[in-house]
Amino acid sequence: MTAAALIFSYVTLWLGGLVALTVYTEFRGRKFRPAVREDRIFRCTHCGLVYTDDPDVDRSRCSQCGKLNDAIKF
């Protein structure tokens, strides 16, 4: 083997190991992250409370003052 082939295989081996370690860490980390919730965010127009409710609810009642509010649109 030539010197260039040895250097190329050495660098390729190290980069492959780094990629494998990165993929392993990413998959392992996904188990511990919280799941993404699809709740809708509401802000009460009367008292200013910010709260969430289920994604299928268009209008939600404020738990603090009882006023019906529309979801916030970003």
- The pLDDT tens digits for 25-74 are 988 877 776 777 788 999 999 999 999 998 888 899 998 898 999 988 87
Number of domains in the chain: 2
Do 1 and 29 belong together in one domain?
Answer: yes
Domain range for residue 23?
1-33
Same domain, 21 and 44: no
Q: Are residues 21 and 4 part of one domain?
A: yes
Q: CA quadruple 30, 31, 32, 34: dihedral positive or negative?
A: positive
> Can you give the pLDDT at residue 43?
93
- Residue ranges of alpha helices (H) inside 1-74 are 3-30
